[in-house]
Amino acid sequence: MTLIAQFIFWSSFSALIYTYIAYPLLAGFLARRRKKINQSPVDDTNLPSVSVLMAVYNEEKVIEEKLQCLRELNYPKEKLSIFIGSDCSSDLTNDIITRLQPDFPRLFFFPFRKRQGKPGVVNQLAQKALERIPSVEQHIFLLTDANVILEKNCLRNLTRHYRDKKVVIVDSNMVNTGLKKEGISQSENQYISSEVQLKNDESNAWKIMAGPFGGCYTLRASYFHPVPDNYLVDDFYITMKVIEQEGAVINDLEAICYEAVSHEIKEEFRRKARISAGNFQNLVTFPHLWWPPYRLPGFVIFSHKVLRWIGPFLMIGLLASALYLAFTIKSTPFWHFFYQVSILGVTTFLLVIPLLDKLLGVLGVHVLYLRSIRYFVLMNIALLKGFINFLKGIKNNVWEPTKRI
């Protein structure tokens, strides 16, 4: 039993250190040693036709700004079409889009009367776009959210990569706005920034990336696969289908877009738990893509995603095994002391620091280091909750927009 506990302790500890520290360092090292992804500009005549696919639900606060941002993109207007599906919005979203539609000759609006979730809306929009522009090699989908604002050259920078016929998905550089000392916005920004850099390093190292940010990425239309009705994370499912067909999935740091970051930890917890449940759906759907983990694409997906998704179980195993070993290994003073210190360290990290940060927050004191640890712990609890929801069964995939404004 002691040997089993030692195995659990050291394997859990090693897996956590590897996925959060060693793997990003390895990806960065390999990315610097290999040839960078071609980012040279493309003239207008060689740019592909783009269909914007955007599912919306109660986005009255941001939809007008979003449409204005699409109007101002530095992209040939004759090559850009916009397909918007409203998932039975109950606010002024539909009215705003209808009012602005005459200003967009190539905007096609579908106000669906029955809620079906983002994947269901995206599936229908893709079908509409393919009916209008047949699935030719130079037809690209831009999948984007209503609250994500694209920099003027974002789309041009994304589509320039499609000169390489192996490239299927190109992800953007998501930049957070509206950071505050209060709440979790700065911690969320740290996480997003590190994820963007890691995905870019994966792109340059292997031309395989463990999923794009769903708020803004492009996809060859011919590679689109409808997402199953009850799936929660459509962007990851679409990416896995592309990797299944050996398509390249990359990131472009020069394709910049902006998203107002979340401040409320309850909102972000709800969103992360939802994403977690969707992650486990994809985990059991595509086991052949992440196992075995010693070859591509399994190495990237397992190292970056799978180990992090099971992070809560690794932390539980780490603490439980340390507790067992601290009270059973008494014949060797060093290891007895080591596991006692391990218990202190793990409980301080997982419990004491989050409680201290919450108390300081009530007093108006905000320490980024403490807040980031609390954010990390709570997001892992959200992963655990998402796993429980997955086990219960996902009955529908309708969503509520995260409060960011």
What is the DSSP track for 303-352? IIIIHHHTHHHHHHHHHHHHHHHHHH--SSHHHHHHHHHHHHHHHIIIII
In the numeric block, which tokens belong to residue 315? 């932390």
Rounded average pLDDT over 244-257: 96
Q: Is residue 404 within 8 Å of 260, Cβ to Cβ? A: yes
Task: Quick: pLDDT tens for 154-166.
Answer: 999 999 999 999 9
pLDDT value at position 45?
A: 81
* Entry field: residues in the chain: 405
Task: Quick: pLDDT tens for 261-294.
Answer: 776 788 889 999 999 999 999 999 999 999 999 9
In this predicted structure, the answer to whether residue 129 has a pLDDT above a threshold of 90 is: yes
**C-alpha 42, offset from chain centre:** 28
Q: Is residue 37 within 8 Å of 252, Cβ to Cβ? A: yes
Among 279-283, 333-337, 350-354, the range scoring the smallest mean pLDDT is 333-337
Kindly report the average pLDDT of the chain as a whole number: 92
CA distance 342 to 8: 14
CA distance 271 to 277: 10
In the numeric block, which tokens belong to residue 254? 């020069």
Q: Is residue 306 within 8 Å of 297, Cβ to Cβ? A: no
What is the CA angle 320-326-330, rounded to 5?
150
CA distance 145 to 402: 12
Rounded average pLDDT over 216-241: 95
Task: Classify 267 in phi/psi space as left (phi over 0), alpha (psi -120 to 50) or beta.
Answer: alpha
Domain-wise residue ranges, the chain: 1-405
In this predicted structure, the answer to whether residue 135 has a pLDDT above a threshold of 70 is: no
What element of type H or E holds 275?
Answer: helix 265-285
Rounded average pLDDT over 193-201: 95
Amino acid at 162: Y
In this predicted structure, the answer to whether residue 133 has a pLDDT above a threshold of 90 is: no
In this predicted structure, the answer to whether residue 198 has a pLDDT above a threshold of 90 is: yes
Q: Phi and psi dihedrals of 171, rounded to 5?
A: -100, 155
In angstroms and rounded to an integer, the radius of gyration of the C-alpha atoms of the chain is: 23
CA distance 308 to 236: 15
The partner residues of 142 in beta bridges, in order of sequence, read 52, 218
Q: Which residue has the higher pLDDT, 351 or 262?
A: 351
Task: Quick: pLDDT tens for 59-107.
Answer: 999 999 999 999 999 999 999 999 999 999 999 999 999 999 999 999 9
pTM for this entry = 0.94
Q: 1-405 — its CATH code?
A: 3.90.550.10
CA distance 116 to 57: 11
Q: Which residues of 323-340 are buried (b: 16+ CB within 10 A; e: fewer)?
A: bbbbeebeeeeeebeebb
DSSP letter at 54?
Answer: E
In this predicted structure, the answer to whether residue 115 has a pLDDT above a threshold of 90 is: yes
pLDDT value at position 19?
A: 98
